């Protein structure tokens, strides 16, 4: 059962500090030296010995840039990257209510949406790329977009994956581990196949329990154990987390950090101004959207 959550109008944005760039001196031309004080002229050999190795200087400069942490304000000021959140890819049935249909995209419409994104020049990115962009200013491809899928539904493998493969798209699958292997849900083997194909597997708790209601034991039951299970399935670290219902609380952030997560994803709730990497916004890909509706929502929201 999902609760309706309105799409965030303001998505994650951040900008790298310009102060660091202003501290870097321009490269000198070969053989050119800076103005020197009135001191005895050194021999050519002595001058060469006294000059720092340009490669060493450049390495030190790059190292400083890479290790300099981005501030929360810098991360929040970055240009937004659209992140779509899909749930089910199937036909509507008579049992689906008005709210439920918002989370169910029909297969034909999903195929049309993926074609529209490809034809419009969008390039899918993965969480590590977004992380480097937010924290280091690493450039992204033109028209970046992230595709994410929640809750382990089988149709994400049987319907969505072939369409992703068709266009060379990569996505993030946030897995709810209680459902693995159950009817209409993905198996361990299918999750492993997605991971091996270059998609990212993230954690979405054990059974979708609301993080805002966690007691002490829940951090282990809902986050720690499922994460270890997914790591055993994929053979890779699980470093990204999606909050059930998109709901979070400040106490969750240190708990996620202790368990090795780099970032966490919400929906439309207010972001944390101190730890924006752990409140990255997504918007739900609505079952009511046409292809035009998807395009307009991306443009309007991001």
pLDDT at 214: 97
- pLDDT for residue 22: 37
The residues spanned by each domain of the chain are 72-301
User: What's the confidence (pLDDT) of residue 80?
Assistant: 84
For the chain, report the end-to-end CA distance as a whole number of angstroms: 28
pLDDT at 99: 95
Q: What is the pTM of this model?
A: 0.78
Low-confidence ranges of the chain (pLDDT < 50): 1-66
Q: What is the pLDDT of residue 300?
A: 82
Kindly write down the DSSP assignment for every residue of the chain, as one continuous string. Answer: -----PPPSS---B---HHHHHTSPPPPPTT------S-PPPPHHHHHHHSPPHHHHHHHHHHHHHHSPPPHHHHHTBPP--EEEE-EES---TT--HHHHTTEE-HHHHHHHHHHHHHTT-EE--HHHHHHHHHH-----SSEEEEEEETTBTHIIIIIHHHHHHHT---EEEE-GGGTTSTTB--HHHHHHHHHTT-EEEE--SS---GGG--TTHIIIIIIHHHHHHHHHHSS---EEE-GGG---TTHHHHHHHTT-SEEE-SSSPPPSS-GGGSB--EE--TT--HHHHHHHHHHH-
pLDDT attached to residue 67: 53
Whole-number pLDDT of residue 69 = 73
| Amino acid 199: pLDDT | 98
Per-residue pLDDT reduced to its tens digit, 164-209: 999 999 999 999 999 999 999 999 999 999 999 999 999 999 999 9
The pLDDT assigned to 268 comes to 83
CATH architecture of the region 72-301: Alpha-Beta Barrel (3.20)
């Amino acid at each position: 059962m999902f609760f309706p959550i309105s799409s965030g109008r303001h998505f994650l944005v951040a900008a790298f500090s310009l102060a660091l760039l202003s501290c870097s001196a321009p490269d000198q031309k070969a053989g050119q030296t800076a103005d020197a004080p009135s001191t005895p002229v050194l021999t050519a050999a002595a001058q060469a010995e006294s000059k720092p190795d340009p490669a060493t200087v450049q390495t030190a400069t790059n190292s400083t840039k890479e290790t300099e942490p981005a501030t929360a304000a810098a991360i929040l000021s970055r240009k937004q990257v659209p992140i779509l959140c899909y749930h089910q890819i199937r036909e509507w049935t008579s049992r689906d209510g008005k709210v439920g249909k918002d989370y169910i995209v029909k297969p034909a419409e999903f195929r049309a949406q993926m074609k529209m994104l490809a034809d419009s020049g969008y390039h899918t990115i993965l969480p590590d790329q977004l992380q480097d962009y937010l924290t280091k200013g690493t450039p992204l491809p033109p028209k970046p977009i992230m595709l994410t899928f929640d809750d382990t539904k089988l149709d994400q493998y049987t319907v969505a994956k072939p369409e992703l493969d068709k266009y060379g798209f990569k996505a993030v699958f946030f897995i709810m581990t209680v459902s693995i292997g159950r009817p209409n849900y993905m198996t361990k083997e299918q999750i492993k196949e997605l991971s091996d194909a270059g998609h990212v597997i993230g954690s979405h708790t054990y059974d979708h329990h609301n993080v805002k209601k966690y007691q002490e034991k829940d951090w282990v039951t809902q986050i720690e154990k499922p994460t270890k299970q997914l790591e055993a399935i994929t053979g890779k670290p699980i470093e990204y987390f999606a909050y059930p219902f998109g709901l979070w609380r400040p106490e969750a952030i240190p708990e996620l950090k202790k368990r090795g997560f780099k970032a966490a994803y919400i929906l439309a709730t207010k972001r944390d101004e101190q730890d924006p990497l752990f409140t990255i916004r997504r918007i739900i890909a609505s079952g009511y959207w046409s292809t035009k509706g998807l395009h307009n929502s991306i443009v309007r929201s991001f």
